[in-house]
């Protein structure tokens, strides 16, 4: 299909109806640069036109919330006048086109969102989904995306402390690459994007502007990934070295109080940055395109306006400070910095090229007035419980246990996180490999616990319960380190919302996440939406990734997931009815997964944090994918220590071992501390599993005894991914 045949607005991705609105708004035909700007700002990626109406359901307020959704990132109070800003973002489509650069620039983008808040980035996480590792294409995408994330995070000196990776054939054609960044800042240091002060200057600094990703990320992320060349952006090449200079430079300028407002340049480049700064500030901006430093000798006004060249920031500064700002950028940080225009009275975004006005439109038409679509709400059939008769019980349970440990989605992700610098800054107290990571807030004894989680199969089968389950799992992971869940960010990775049940699933997942956030008192402070993750043959599961931040008053009280002392007691805290439905063990999106019980989840999180406060927990590990048997094995492998445990048999041993449900964690404590732990647990069930020690993991389930050597378990768990890639 050649695009020459298509009318201009269609080439740009606007529907006929959308294109018709523009003259109505402007009272005239748009200029070509204006049409290009509309097409990008009205794309799904920039305008959220299919998801906006649904996102309103999220709870976003709380006493500790300093900044909710709407700015570059959200921010929460962490005490002592300090705040933590965080956000998660997707770079799925660019990563599918060029996994190394796509994933790398994804990290760069989210880091600039945090910088734009005036914060210093202190941690990164990455949430990844690929097809099965039996596919050469998926092995390639996985290898290169991880390399790209490592390359960028390592070079900018922000520790990548956690994340997740899942593998399922539904991601074969639409891999997911989400990155989360967390930064620290003083309360009074929060910067906002709103332009202020008529007559103030606009300073563009960082990399030069080239033809990167023209009509790229935004258009690409707004329709199903097609192979026609013309949809392909000119790929953005990551430049982490410049990003690091940008980080240091912004920190320096913020410290000197030289920013009136700050905004990063992401999708739709200057167009998006400028129109958002203008409309948020209720003012106009006048940009002189001839002043923008270019990498190419010639670029059209439209190209300059929508270029997605990376590592650029746009600041509003007072006329008196312009020279100082530019001098600091150039002399101290070897960064290009240019005065490209000014804040004006009124509401218009004006762009000038060789003396001519090429753009003159009210900024909010671009930033706020994109058409909004109600996505169809076609409920999917209610989940049907799995018929266990169709799932033969394994004759060799030990073999099944080892096989499950070696499933890439469950197996150790060491191959991934050893490629990431998780230590730079020397404040990483709990490294990747456990539940949540724990990072000390620089210069204090406080710490944050951070994790990303999702329950995509659960969301496919029962989106409302699945959405809640994702939030509760994140909370459990945070609480297992002794932290108290504080707030979440989220990335809604979904297929085409205009088709099938997707729109309904999106709404349901949001409702479920909201239920859980209310129950836990963890509002949503930021997020991102990635739709159209499907191909002609494969449609991804609804994948709402939750990024949670929790707080620890005393970093020294954090808890790890590994057993660590012979003779300790292993206890099972919480309760739930494990099912094979939709489980990793079953390996299919089939059945009716146990819906989460909010009361138990909340009580469990409170208990874990209270117990950690009293220093009673030697280890804590939540029971998630793979059920009790996998969680027990992970605590044993982590500490190279066995355990002898006993648990009641359900109807079937495999269900008791590998069945999944929320609301449960395995803790270990010194003998004698269990009494106090039971007091702290109040109504929450606490069952003694057994005793830590020896070199086998032995589990008595009713009459059946299953056991595997710790060494064999570690071998299966650690080797799976390297061998799948070999």
Partner 1 sequence: MMTRVVVTVMPRTETLDPQGQAVAGALHQLGFDDLGDVRIGKRIVLDIDGDDPVGQAHAMCDRLLVNRLIEDYEVDAG
Partner 2 sequence: MTIERPTVAVVKFPGSLDHDSAARAATQAGADATLVHHKDDTLPAGTAAVVLPGGFSYGDHLRCGAIASRAPIMQAVIRFAADGGRVLGICNGFQILCEAGLLPGVLRPNQRLGFICRQVTLEVDDATTDWTGTHTAGTNLSIPIKNHDGAWFGDPADGRVVFRYDESNPTGSRERIAGIANHEGNVLGMMPHPECACDPLVGSDDGRVLFDALVGAVRVGAA
Instruction: List contacts with partner 2 (CB under 8 A).
Output: 147, 150-151, 154-157, 239-242, 244-245, 332-334, 417-429, 431, 440, 555-556
Q: How far apart are CA 693 and CA 486, in angstroms?
A: 35
Q: How far apart are CA 6 and CA 28, in angstroms?
A: 22
Q: Is residue 88 helix, strand or coil?
A: strand
Residue 434 binds which entry of partner 2, partner 1, ligand ADP, none, with Cβ cut-offs from 5 to 8 Å by kind? ligand ADP
Given the residues 45, 50, 501, 621, the one annotated as active site:
45
Residue 309 binds which entry of partner 1, ligand ADP, partner 2, none, with Cβ cut-offs from 5 to 8 Å by kind? partner 1
Distance of closest approach, residue 330 Cβ to ligand ADP, in angstroms = 36
Among the residue ranges 228-236, 241-249, 471-479, 694-702, the one whose residues contact Mg ion (CB under 5 A):
471-479
CA dihedral defined by 250, 254, 255, 258, rounded to 10 degrees? 120
Of 30, 183, 216, 434, the one binding ligand ADP (CB under 6 A) is 434
Comparing CB distances to Mg ion, the nearer of 400 and 624 is: 624
Enumerate residues 362-421 that contact ligand ADP by CB under 6 A.
413, 416-417, 420
Among the residue ranges 67-75, 111-119, 220-228, 230-238, the one whose residues contact partner 1 (CB under 8 A):
230-238
Contact of 282 with 362, CB cutoff 8 Å:
no
477 binds ligand ADP (CB under 6 A): yes
Nearest alpha carbon to residue 524 among 493, 550, 504, 547: 547
Q: How far apart are CA 196 and CA 487, in angstroms?
A: 30
Mind giving me the DSSP string for 237-261?
PP-HHHHHHHHHHHHHHHHTT--SE
Contact of 91 with 177, CB cutoff 8 Å:
yes
Among the residue ranges 103-111, 162-170, 352-360, 679-687, the one whose residues contact ligand ADP (CB under 6 A):
162-170
Q: Which residue has the tokens 């009494």?
A: 675
Among the residue ranges 156-164, 175-183, 228-236, 644-652, the one whose residues contact ligand ADP (CB under 6 A):
156-164
Given the residues 50, 64, 91, 93, the one annotated as active site:
91
Of 66, 235, 294, 698, the one binding partner 1 (CB under 8 A) is 235
412 binds Mg ion (CB under 5 A): no
**Is 458 designated active site?**
no
**Is 45 designated active site?**
yes
Q: Which uninterrupted H or E stretch holds 703?
A: none
Mind giving me the DSSP string for 140-200?
HHHHHHHHHHHHHHHHHT--EEEEEEEE-GGGSSS-EEEEEEEEEEEGGG-------STTP
Contact of 583 with 628, CB cutoff 8 Å:
no
The first and second tokens of residue 26, run together, are 């402007």
Residue 622 binds which entry of partner 2, partner 1, Mg ion, none, with Cβ cut-offs from 5 to 8 Å by kind? Mg ion
Of 137, 241, 378, 599, the one binding partner 1 (CB under 8 A) is 241
234 binds partner 1 (CB under 8 A): yes
Contact of 609 with 484, CB cutoff 8 Å:
yes
215 binds partner 1 (CB under 8 A): no
128 binds ligand ADP (CB under 6 A): yes
Q: How far apart are CA 210 and CA 308, in angstroms?
A: 8
Comparing CB distances to partner 1, the nearer of 151 and 430 is: 151
Q: How far apart are CA 220 and CA 232, in angstroms?
A: 7
Query: In the complex, which residues of this chain contact partner 1 (CB under 8 A)?
Result: 97-98, 101, 207, 210-212, 232, 234-239, 241-242, 295-296, 309-310, 334
Give contact residues for ligand ADP (rule: CB under 6 A). Answer: 126, 128, 160, 162-165, 413, 416-417, 420, 432-435, 437, 453, 477, 624-625
Q: Which residues are catalytic?
A: 45, 91
């Amino acid at each position: 299909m050649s695009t020459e045949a298509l009318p201009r607005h269609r080439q740009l991705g606007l529907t006929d109806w959308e294109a018709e609105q523009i003259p109505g708004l402007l009272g005239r035909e748009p200029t070509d640069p204006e049409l290009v700007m509309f097409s990008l700002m009205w794309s799904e990626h920039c305008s959220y036109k299919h998801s906006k109406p649904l996102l309103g359901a999220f709870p976003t307020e709380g006493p500790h919330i300093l900044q909710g959704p709407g700015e570059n990132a959200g921010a929460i109070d962490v005490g002592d006048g300090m705040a933590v800003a965080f956000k998660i973002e997707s770079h799925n489509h660019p990563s599918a086109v060029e996994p190394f650069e796509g994933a790398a620039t994804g990290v760069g983008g989210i880091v600039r969102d945090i910088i734009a808040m005036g914060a210093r980035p202190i941690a990164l996480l990455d949430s990844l989904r690929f097809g099965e590792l039996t596919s050469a294409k998926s092995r390639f995408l996985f290898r290169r995306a991880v390399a790209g994330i490592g390359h960028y995070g390592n070079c900018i000196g922000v520790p990548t402390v956690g994340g997740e990776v899942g593998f399922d054939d539904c991601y074969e054609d639409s891999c997911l690459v989400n990155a989360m960044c967390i930064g620290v800042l003083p309360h009074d240091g929060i910067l906002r994007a709103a332009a202020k002060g008529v007559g103030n200057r606009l300073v563009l600094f960082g990399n030069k502007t080239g033809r990167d990703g023209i009509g790229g990320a935004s258009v690409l992320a707004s329709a199903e990934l097609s192979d026609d060349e013309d949809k392909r952006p000119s790929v953005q090449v990551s430049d982490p070295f410049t990003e690091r200079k940008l980080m240091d430079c912004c920190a320096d300028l913020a410290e000197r109080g030289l920013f009136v407002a700050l905004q990063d340049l992401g999708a739709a480049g200057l167009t998006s940055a400028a129109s958002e700064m203008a409309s948020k500030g209720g003012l106009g901006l006048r940009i002189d395109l001839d002043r923008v430093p270019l990498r190419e000798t010639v670029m059209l006004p439209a190209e300059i306006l929508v270029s997605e060249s990376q590592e650029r920031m746009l600041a509003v500064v007072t006329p008196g400070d312009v020279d100082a700002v530019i001098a600091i950028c150039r002399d101290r940080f070897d960064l290009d910095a240019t005065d490209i225009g000014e804040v004006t009275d009124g509401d218009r975004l004006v762009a000038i090229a060789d003396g001519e006005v090429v753009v003159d439109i009210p900024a909010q038409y671009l930033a706020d007035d994109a058409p909004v679509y109600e996505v169809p709400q076609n409920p999917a059939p209610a989940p049907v419980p799995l018929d266990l008769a169709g799932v033969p019980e394994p004759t060799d349970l030990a073999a099944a246990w080892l096989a499950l440990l070696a499933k890439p989605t469950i197996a150790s992700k060491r191959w991934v996180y050893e490629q990431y610098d998780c230590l730079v800054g020397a404040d990483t107290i709990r490294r990747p490999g456990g539940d949540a990571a724990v990072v000390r807030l620089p210069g204090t004894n406080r710490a944050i616990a951070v994790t990303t989680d999702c329950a995509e199969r659960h969301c496919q089968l029962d989106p409302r319960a699945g959405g809640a389950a994702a939030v509760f799992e994140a909370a459990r992971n945070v609480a297992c380190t002794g932290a108290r869940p504080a707030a979440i960010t989220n990335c809604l990775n979904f297929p085409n919302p205009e088709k099938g049940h997707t729109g309904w699933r999106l709404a349901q997942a949001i409702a479920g996440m909201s239920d859980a956030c209310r129950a836990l008192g963890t509002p949503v402070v930021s997020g991102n939406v990635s739709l159209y993750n499907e191909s002609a043959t494969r449609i991804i599961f609804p994948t709402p990734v939750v990024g949670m931040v929790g707080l620890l008053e005393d970093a020294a009280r954090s808890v790890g997931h590994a057993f660590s002392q012979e003779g300790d007691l292993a206890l099972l805290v919480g309760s739930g009815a494990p099912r094979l439905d939709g489980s990793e063990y079953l390996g299919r999106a089939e059945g009716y997964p146990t819906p989460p019980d909010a009361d138990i989840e909340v009580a469990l999180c409170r208990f874990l944090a209270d117990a950690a406060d009293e220093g009673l927990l030697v280890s804590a590990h939540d029971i998630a994918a793979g059920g009790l048997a996998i969680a027990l094995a992970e605590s044993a492998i982590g500490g190279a220590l066995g355990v002898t445990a006993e648990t009641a048999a359900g109807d079937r041993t495999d269900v008791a071992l590998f069945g999944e449900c929320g609301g449960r964690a395995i803790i270990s404590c010194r003998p004698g501390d269990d009494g106090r732990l039971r007091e702290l647990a109040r109504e929450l069930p606490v069952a003694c599993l057994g005793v830590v020690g020896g070199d086998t993991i032995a589990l008595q389930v009713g009459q059946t005894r299953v056991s595997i050597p710790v060494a064999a378990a570690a071998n299966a768990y650690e080797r799976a991914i390297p061998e799948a890639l070999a």
